[in-house]
Protein backbone atom coordinates (compact mmCIF):
# COMPACT_ATOMS: atom_id res chain seq x y z
CA UNK A 1 0.00 0.00 0.00
CA UNK A 2 1.39 3.32 -0.93
CA UNK A 3 2.22 5.71 1.84
CA UNK A 4 0.76 9.17 1.82
CA UNK A 5 4.11 10.88 2.38
CA UNK A 6 7.53 9.19 2.00
CA UNK A 7 7.85 5.46 1.85
CA UNK A 8 9.49 3.91 4.88
CA UNK A 9 12.22 2.07 2.92
CA UNK A 10 13.41 5.35 1.49
CA UNK A 11 13.29 7.31 4.71
CA UNK A 12 17.10 7.38 5.06
CA UNK A 13 17.78 6.65 1.36
CA UNK A 14 17.10 8.49 -1.86
CA UNK A 15 13.57 9.38 -0.81
CA UNK A 16 14.85 11.07 2.28
CA UNK A 17 16.14 13.99 0.25
CA UNK A 18 12.74 14.51 -1.32
CA UNK A 19 11.07 14.20 2.09
CA UNK A 20 13.46 16.63 3.80
CA UNK A 21 13.22 18.96 0.83
CA UNK A 22 9.47 19.07 1.06
CA UNK A 23 9.66 19.67 4.80
CA UNK A 24 12.19 22.46 4.26
CA UNK A 25 9.99 23.98 1.59
CA UNK A 26 6.97 23.72 3.89
CA UNK A 27 8.58 25.44 6.89
CA UNK A 28 11.33 27.59 5.42
CA UNK A 29 9.24 30.73 4.80
CA UNK A 30 7.60 30.89 8.21
CA UNK A 31 10.88 30.16 9.99
CA UNK A 32 12.79 32.76 8.00
CA UNK A 33 10.13 35.40 8.53
CA UNK A 34 10.04 34.62 12.26
CA UNK A 35 13.83 34.87 12.51
CA UNK A 36 13.80 38.15 10.64
CA UNK A 37 11.10 39.51 12.90
CA UNK A 38 13.10 38.46 15.96
CA UNK A 39 16.26 40.02 14.60
CA UNK A 40 14.73 43.46 14.07
CA UNK A 41 14.13 44.37 17.73
CA UNK A 42 17.47 42.80 18.60
CA UNK A 43 19.20 45.12 16.11
CA UNK A 44 17.38 48.12 17.61
CA UNK A 45 18.44 47.07 21.08
CA UNK A 46 22.04 46.71 20.00
CA UNK A 47 21.89 50.12 18.34
CA UNK A 48 20.58 51.70 21.52
CA UNK A 49 23.29 50.03 23.58
CA UNK A 50 25.91 51.24 21.12
CA UNK A 51 24.63 54.82 21.35
CA UNK A 52 24.66 54.67 25.14
CA UNK A 53 28.21 53.34 25.09
CA UNK A 54 29.28 56.16 22.76
CA UNK A 55 27.77 58.78 25.05
CA UNK A 56 29.50 57.19 28.01
CA UNK A 57 32.80 57.28 26.15
CA UNK A 58 32.29 60.95 25.32
CA UNK A 59 31.73 61.71 29.00
CA UNK A 60 34.78 59.74 30.05
CA UNK A 61 36.85 61.45 27.36
CA UNK A 62 36.01 64.88 28.82
CA UNK A 63 39.35 66.05 30.20
CA UNK A 64 39.61 66.35 33.94
CA UNK A 65 40.17 69.94 35.07
CA UNK A 66 43.80 70.69 35.86
CA UNK A 67 42.86 73.61 38.09
CA UNK A 68 42.59 72.35 41.69
CA UNK A 69 39.62 74.62 42.44
CA UNK A 70 37.66 73.37 39.45
CA UNK A 71 38.58 69.84 40.44
CA UNK A 72 37.35 70.43 43.99
CA UNK A 73 34.13 72.06 42.75
CA UNK A 74 33.44 69.05 40.53
CA UNK A 75 34.13 66.71 43.45
CA UNK A 76 31.74 68.69 45.64
CA UNK A 77 28.97 68.56 43.01
CA UNK A 78 29.50 64.81 42.70
CA UNK A 79 29.52 64.44 46.50
CA UNK A 80 26.22 66.29 46.97
CA UNK A 81 24.62 64.14 44.25
CA UNK A 82 25.90 61.02 45.98
CA UNK A 83 24.38 62.13 49.28
CA UNK A 84 20.95 61.73 47.69
CA UNK A 85 21.78 58.31 46.24
CA UNK A 86 23.58 56.51 49.05
CA UNK A 87 21.91 54.04 51.37
CA UNK A 88 20.64 55.64 54.63
CA UNK A 89 23.05 53.41 56.60
CA UNK A 90 26.00 54.84 54.65
CA UNK A 91 24.77 58.40 55.22
CA UNK A 92 24.35 57.80 58.96
CA UNK A 93 27.86 56.36 59.11
CA UNK A 94 29.22 59.48 57.38
CA UNK A 95 27.44 61.71 59.92
CA UNK A 96 28.88 59.67 62.79
CA UNK A 97 32.38 60.40 61.50
CA UNK A 98 31.57 64.13 61.72
CA UNK A 99 30.67 64.12 65.42
CA UNK A 100 32.48 66.89 67.33
CA UNK A 101 30.88 66.41 70.76
CA UNK A 102 28.90 63.73 72.56
CA UNK A 103 27.63 63.41 76.13
CA UNK A 104 24.67 61.83 77.92
CA UNK A 105 22.30 64.57 76.70
CA UNK A 106 23.60 65.81 73.34
CA UNK A 107 25.29 64.78 70.12
CA UNK A 108 26.82 67.53 67.97
CA UNK A 109 27.71 66.91 64.32
CA UNK A 110 29.49 68.97 61.70
CA UNK A 111 26.73 69.18 59.09
CA UNK A 112 28.02 68.60 55.54
CA UNK A 113 27.20 70.81 52.57
CA UNK A 114 24.17 69.96 50.42
CA UNK A 115 22.33 67.79 52.96
CA UNK A 116 18.86 69.05 53.98
CA UNK A 117 17.72 68.77 57.58
CA UNK A 118 14.10 67.97 56.69
CA UNK A 119 12.51 66.16 53.75
CA UNK A 120 10.56 67.75 50.92
CA UNK A 121 9.85 67.54 47.19
CA UNK A 122 12.75 65.90 45.38
CA UNK A 123 14.58 65.07 48.64
CA UNK A 124 15.51 61.42 48.98
CA UNK A 125 17.61 61.63 52.12
CA UNK A 126 17.75 64.15 54.96
CA UNK A 127 19.23 64.30 58.43
CA UNK A 128 15.93 63.73 60.24
CA UNK A 129 15.34 60.48 58.34
CA UNK A 130 18.64 58.90 59.40
CA UNK A 131 18.58 59.91 63.08
CA UNK A 132 17.26 56.46 64.19
CA UNK A 133 20.15 54.77 62.34
CA UNK A 134 22.70 57.23 63.74
CA UNK A 135 21.44 56.51 67.27
CA UNK A 136 21.89 52.75 66.75
CA UNK A 137 25.43 53.28 65.44
CA UNK A 138 26.29 55.21 68.62
CA UNK A 139 24.30 53.30 71.27
CA UNK A 140 23.45 49.92 69.79
CA UNK A 141 20.33 48.43 68.21
CA UNK A 142 18.07 49.21 71.19
CA UNK A 143 18.85 52.93 71.12
CA UNK A 144 15.97 55.37 70.77
CA UNK A 145 16.12 57.88 67.87
CA UNK A 146 17.94 61.17 68.30
CA UNK A 147 15.96 64.43 68.11
CA UNK A 148 16.63 67.65 66.22
CA UNK A 149 17.19 70.75 68.35
CA UNK A 150 17.35 73.35 65.54
CA UNK A 151 17.85 73.55 61.81
CA UNK A 152 20.38 74.75 59.24
CA UNK A 153 19.80 75.45 55.57
CA UNK A 154 20.70 72.73 53.08
CA UNK A 155 23.68 74.73 51.79
CA UNK A 156 24.98 75.76 55.23
CA UNK A 157 27.68 73.73 56.98
CA UNK A 158 28.71 73.53 60.60
CA UNK A 159 27.42 73.02 64.15
CA UNK A 160 24.24 70.94 64.36
CA UNK A 161 22.88 69.96 67.80
CA UNK A 162 20.93 66.73 68.42
CA UNK A 163 19.46 65.43 71.69
CA UNK A 164 18.94 61.93 73.03
CA UNK A 165 15.71 62.74 74.85
CA UNK A 166 12.71 64.66 73.54
CA UNK A 167 12.56 66.72 76.74
CA UNK A 168 16.17 67.87 76.30
CA UNK A 169 15.46 68.72 72.64
CA UNK A 170 12.50 70.87 73.71
CA UNK A 171 14.71 72.55 76.32
CA UNK A 172 17.35 73.44 73.73
CA UNK A 173 14.68 74.59 71.27
CA UNK A 174 13.33 76.93 73.93
CA UNK A 175 16.82 78.36 74.43
CA UNK A 176 16.99 79.08 70.69
CA UNK A 177 13.50 80.60 70.69
CA UNK A 178 14.26 82.93 73.61
CA UNK A 179 17.62 83.94 72.02
CA UNK A 180 19.77 82.55 74.83
CA UNK A 181 22.01 80.66 72.38
CA UNK A 182 25.01 82.55 70.98
CA UNK A 183 25.59 81.64 67.32
CA UNK A 184 28.58 82.63 65.20
CA UNK A 185 28.94 82.10 61.46
CA UNK A 186 31.72 82.65 58.98
CA UNK A 187 30.88 83.91 55.52
CA UNK A 188 33.04 84.70 52.50
CA UNK A 189 31.52 87.72 50.77
CA UNK A 190 31.85 89.30 47.37
CA UNK A 191 33.12 92.85 48.10
CA UNK A 192 33.98 94.31 51.50
CA UNK A 193 31.26 95.87 53.67
CA UNK A 194 31.46 99.50 54.74
CA UNK A 195 31.83 100.02 57.65
CA UNK A 196 33.83 96.94 58.51
CA UNK A 197 31.82 96.28 61.68
CA UNK A 198 28.29 97.08 62.65
CA UNK A 199 24.69 95.95 63.07
CA UNK A 200 22.11 95.40 60.34
CA UNK A 201 18.67 96.03 61.86
CA UNK A 202 16.18 95.74 58.99
CA UNK A 203 12.96 93.70 59.09
CA UNK A 204 12.55 90.88 56.57
CA UNK A 205 9.45 89.72 54.70
CA UNK A 206 8.77 86.95 52.20
CA UNK A 207 7.74 88.20 48.74
CA UNK A 208 7.12 86.84 45.27
CA UNK A 209 10.14 87.67 43.12
CA UNK A 210 9.50 90.13 40.29
CA UNK A 211 8.86 88.42 36.97
CA UNK A 212 9.15 84.98 38.61
CA UNK A 213 5.67 83.67 39.23
CA UNK A 214 5.28 81.27 42.16
CA UNK A 215 8.90 81.86 43.20
CA UNK A 216 9.30 83.51 46.60
CA UNK A 217 12.31 85.11 48.24
CA UNK A 218 12.97 86.77 51.55
CA UNK A 219 13.35 90.54 51.13
CA UNK A 220 14.12 93.60 53.20
CA UNK A 221 11.20 95.57 54.58
CA UNK A 222 12.85 98.74 55.92
CA UNK A 223 11.01 101.09 58.28
CA UNK A 224 12.57 104.18 56.67
CA UNK A 225 13.51 105.36 53.20
CA UNK A 226 15.43 108.36 51.88
CA UNK A 227 13.26 110.97 50.15
CA UNK A 228 15.04 114.10 48.81
CA UNK A 229 17.84 113.60 51.32
CA UNK A 230 15.45 113.19 54.26
CA UNK A 231 14.70 110.04 56.24
CA UNK A 232 11.01 109.26 55.92
CA UNK A 233 9.24 106.58 57.95
CA UNK A 234 7.30 104.16 55.78
CA UNK A 235 4.43 101.87 56.58
CA UNK A 236 5.87 98.45 57.30
CA UNK A 237 4.34 95.21 56.09
CA UNK A 238 2.24 93.37 58.63
CA UNK A 239 4.09 90.19 57.67
CA UNK A 240 7.56 91.69 58.19
CA UNK A 241 9.64 90.11 60.95
CA UNK A 242 12.26 91.76 63.15
CA UNK A 243 15.76 90.77 61.96
CA UNK A 244 19.05 91.88 63.56
CA UNK A 245 22.56 90.77 62.54
CA UNK A 246 25.90 91.78 64.05
CA UNK A 247 28.90 91.54 61.75
CA UNK A 248 32.61 92.29 61.61
CA UNK A 249 35.32 91.81 59.02
CA UNK A 250 37.98 89.28 60.05
CA UNK A 251 40.04 89.54 56.85
CA UNK A 252 39.68 91.37 53.56
CA UNK A 253 41.22 91.87 50.12
CA UNK A 254 40.29 94.23 47.29
CA UNK A 255 37.39 92.08 46.09
CA UNK A 256 36.32 89.80 48.96
CA UNK A 257 36.11 89.50 52.72
CA UNK A 258 35.76 86.95 55.51
CA UNK A 259 33.05 88.04 57.94
CA UNK A 260 32.06 86.84 61.38
CA UNK A 261 28.28 87.01 61.73
CA UNK A 262 26.24 86.86 64.89
CA UNK A 263 22.48 86.70 64.26
CA UNK A 264 20.49 88.13 67.15
CA UNK A 265 17.25 86.88 65.61
CA UNK A 266 16.64 83.71 63.61
CA UNK A 267 14.60 84.61 60.52
CA UNK A 268 14.72 82.40 57.42
CA UNK A 269 17.72 83.29 55.20
CA UNK A 270 18.40 86.30 57.45
CA UNK A 271 22.18 86.36 57.03
CA UNK A 272 22.03 85.96 53.26
CA UNK A 273 19.45 88.73 52.84
CA UNK A 274 21.15 91.19 55.20
CA UNK A 275 24.53 90.74 53.52
CA UNK A 276 23.28 90.88 49.95
CA UNK A 277 20.60 93.58 50.10
CA UNK A 278 21.57 95.37 53.32
CA UNK A 279 25.36 95.61 52.85
CA UNK A 280 25.60 94.93 49.10
CA UNK A 281 28.03 92.11 49.84
CA UNK A 282 26.41 88.81 48.82
CA UNK A 283 27.88 85.56 50.12
CA UNK A 284 30.14 83.75 47.65
CA UNK A 285 28.10 80.98 46.02
CA UNK A 286 24.70 82.48 46.93
CA UNK A 287 22.87 82.05 43.64
CA UNK A 288 19.47 82.86 45.17
CA UNK A 289 20.10 86.26 46.76
CA UNK A 290 22.88 87.77 44.68
CA UNK A 291 20.28 89.40 42.43
CA UNK A 292 16.71 90.12 43.46
CA UNK A 293 15.27 90.32 39.96
CA UNK A 294 16.92 87.19 38.56
CA UNK A 295 17.15 83.55 39.52
CA UNK A 296 20.50 82.80 37.91
CA UNK A 297 24.06 81.80 38.84
CA UNK A 298 25.94 84.44 40.80
CA UNK A 299 27.69 86.98 38.58
CA UNK A 300 31.29 87.31 39.75
CA UNK A 301 33.88 89.94 38.89
CA UNK A 302 36.80 89.10 36.62
CA UNK A 303 39.16 89.56 39.59
CA UNK A 304 37.41 86.95 41.74
CA UNK A 305 37.03 84.51 38.83
CA UNK A 306 40.75 84.79 38.10
CA UNK A 307 41.71 84.21 41.73
CA UNK A 308 39.42 81.21 42.00
CA UNK A 309 40.56 79.88 38.63
CA UNK A 310 36.97 79.60 37.41
CA UNK A 311 35.03 80.64 34.33
CA UNK A 312 31.72 82.44 34.77
CA UNK A 313 29.95 79.52 33.06
CA UNK A 314 31.13 77.28 35.92
CA UNK A 315 30.18 79.70 38.70
CA UNK A 316 26.84 77.94 39.13
CA UNK A 317 28.69 75.06 40.80
CA UNK A 318 30.20 77.28 43.51
CA UNK A 319 28.83 76.21 46.91
CA UNK A 320 27.48 78.67 49.44
CA UNK A 321 30.35 79.86 51.65
CA UNK A 322 28.39 80.11 54.90
CA UNK A 323 29.59 78.08 57.88
CA UNK A 324 28.14 77.81 61.39
CA UNK A 325 31.49 77.85 63.18
CA UNK A 326 30.53 78.24 66.83
CA UNK A 327 27.54 77.81 69.11
CA UNK A 328 27.37 78.45 72.85
CA UNK A 329 24.61 76.79 74.87
CA UNK A 330 23.74 77.94 78.42
CA UNK A 331 23.92 75.30 81.13
CA UNK A 332 21.12 72.76 80.69
CA UNK A 333 21.24 71.78 84.39
CA UNK A 334 22.08 73.82 87.52
CA UNK A 335 25.31 71.88 88.17
CA UNK A 336 26.51 72.13 84.56
CA UNK A 337 28.53 74.80 82.75
CA UNK A 338 27.77 76.49 79.45
CA UNK A 339 28.86 74.49 76.43
CA UNK A 340 30.83 76.03 73.56
CA UNK A 341 30.72 73.93 70.39
CA UNK A 342 33.13 74.57 67.53
CA UNK A 343 33.30 73.16 63.98
CA UNK A 344 36.08 73.60 61.46
CA UNK A 345 35.02 74.88 58.02
CA UNK A 346 34.96 72.47 55.06
CA UNK A 347 37.90 72.11 52.69
CA UNK A 348 36.35 74.13 49.87
CA UNK A 349 35.83 77.04 52.29
CA UNK A 350 39.47 77.02 53.41
CA UNK A 351 40.68 76.68 49.81
CA UNK A 352 38.63 79.71 48.71
CA UNK A 353 40.06 81.77 51.58
CA UNK A 354 43.58 80.95 50.48
CA UNK A 355 42.94 81.74 46.82
CA UNK A 356 41.18 85.02 47.59
CA UNK A 357 44.03 86.16 49.82
CA UNK A 358 41.98 85.99 53.03
CA UNK A 359 43.54 84.88 56.31
CA UNK A 360 42.14 82.20 58.60
CA UNK A 361 41.50 83.62 62.07
CA UNK A 362 43.92 82.67 64.81
CA UNK A 363 43.05 80.30 67.62
CA UNK A 364 41.93 83.27 69.68
CA UNK A 365 38.79 83.33 67.57
CA UNK A 366 38.18 79.70 68.49
CA UNK A 367 36.53 78.65 65.25
CA UNK A 368 39.41 76.62 63.88
CA UNK A 369 39.91 74.41 66.91
CA UNK A 370 38.90 70.79 66.74
CA UNK A 371 37.96 70.35 70.38
CA UNK A 372 34.80 71.50 72.13
CA UNK A 373 34.77 73.08 75.54
CA UNK A 374 34.02 71.56 77.94
CA UNK A 375 33.69 67.79 77.56
CA UNK A 376 35.59 67.52 74.29
CA UNK A 377 35.39 64.16 72.59
Q: Tell me which residue of 219, 283, 275, 220 sits closest to 245, measured CA to CA.
A: 275
Is 261 a member of any domain?
yes
- In the chain, what is the straight-line distance between the N-terminal and C-terminal CA atoms, in Å? 103
Biggest CA–CA distance in the chain, Å, is: 126
* 93 exposure class (CB count in 10 Å sphere: 0-12, 13-18, 19+): middle
For the cut 50, the answer to whether the pLDDT of residue 371 exceeds it is no
How far is residue 341's CA from residue 338's CA, in Å, rounded to a whole number?
Answer: 10
Angle at the Cα of 269 from the Cα atoms of 115 and 202, rounded to 5 degrees: 165
The predicted-structure confidence for 215-262, as pLDDT tens digits, reads as follows: 788 999 988 777 887 888 887 778 899 999 999 999 999 999 999 999
Question: Can you give the length of the chain in residues?
Answer: 377
CA distance 99 to 97: 6
3 falls within a domain: no
Quote the Cα angle for 15-16-20, to 5°. Answer: 125
Most confident stretch, 42-51, 318-327, 360-369: 318-327
- Domain holding 130: CATH number? 3.30.2350.10
Arithmetic mean of pLDDT, 65-69: 65
Q: Which carries the bigger pLDDT value, residue 208 or residue 305? A: 305
pLDDT-derived band at 67, boundaries 50, 70, 90: low
What pLDDT, on a 0 to 100 scale, did the predictor assign at position 23? 38
In the prediction, which pLDDT does 10 show?
41
In a domain, 127, yes or no: yes
What integer pLDDT is reported at residue 234 of this predicted model?
80
Closest CA to 347 of 105, 157, 172: 157
Which stretch of 78-82, 311-315, 323-327 has the lowest confidence by average pLDDT?
A: 78-82
d(CA 137, CA 89): 9
Q: Distance between CA 255 and CA 284 in Å, rounded?
A: 11
Residue-wise pLDDT for 87-132, tens only, equals 888 889 999 999 999 999 999 999 999 899 998 777 778 899 999 9
In this prediction, residue 258 carries a pLDDT of: 98
Of residues 14 and 164, more confidently modeled: 164
Residue 162 lies in a domain: yes
Confidence at residue 377, expressed as pLDDT on a 0 to 100 scale: 36
What stretch of H or E contains 109?
strand 106-111
- Per the annotation, the verdict on 153 as an active-site residue is yes
For residue 11, what pLDDT band results from cuts at 50, 70 and 90?
Answer: very low
**Does 291 reside within a domain?**
yes
- Please say if the pLDDT value at position 59 is more than 90: no
- Residue 72: the pLDDT is 66
Long-range contacts of range 122-128, CB-CB < 8 Å, 24 or more positions apart? Answer: 123/84, 124/84, 124/85, 125/83, 125/84, 125/86, 125/88, 125/91, 127/95, 127/160
Q: What kind and span of H or E run contains 99?
A: strand 99-102
Please give the residue that has the higher pLDDT: either 363 or 225.
225
**Does a structural domain hold residue 109?**
yes
- Tell me how many domains the chain contains: 1
**58-62, 99-103, 148-152, 200-204: which has the minimum mean pLDDT?**
58-62
Strands (E), 177-285: 182-190, 197-201, 204-208, 216-220, 224-227, 230-233, 244-252, 256-263
Range(s) of the domain holding residue 330: 68-356
Residue 300: inside a domain: yes
Write down the pLDDT at residue 284.
97
Instruction: Label residue 150 by pLDDT band (50, 70, 90).
Output: very high
Residue 225 lies in a domain: yes
- pTM flag (> 0.85): no
What Cα–Cα distance (Å) separates residue 32 from each residue in 28, 42, 357? Answer: 6, 15, 75
Choosing from 103, 129, 153, 368, which is the catalytic residue?
A: 153
> Is the backbone peptide bond immediately before 193 cis, with ω within 30 degrees of 0?
no
Other CB atoms within 10 Å distance of the CB of residue 163? 20
pLDDT tens digits for range 291-316: 877 778 999 999 999 999 999 988 88
Residues 6+ apart with CB under 8 A from 277: 219, 220, 289, 292
Between 46-60, 102-116, 268-282, the lowest mean confidence (pLDDT) is in 46-60
Pair 65, 71: CB distance under 8 Å:
yes
Percent of the chain at pLDDT > 90 equals 54
Distance between CA 107 and CA 275 in Å, rounded? 31
pLDDT score, position 17:
45
Amino acid sequence: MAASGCSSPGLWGRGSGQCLGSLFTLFSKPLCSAAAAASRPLDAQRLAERLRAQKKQQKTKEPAPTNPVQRRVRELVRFTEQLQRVHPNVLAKALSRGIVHQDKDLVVINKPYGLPVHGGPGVQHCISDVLPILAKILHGHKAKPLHLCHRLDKETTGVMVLAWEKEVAHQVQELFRTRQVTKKYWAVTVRVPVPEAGVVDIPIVEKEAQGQQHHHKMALSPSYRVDDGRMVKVRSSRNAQLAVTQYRVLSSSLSAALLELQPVTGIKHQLRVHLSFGLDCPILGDHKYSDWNRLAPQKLSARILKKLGLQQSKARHLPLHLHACQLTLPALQPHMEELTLICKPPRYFVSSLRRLGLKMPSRDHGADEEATQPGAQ
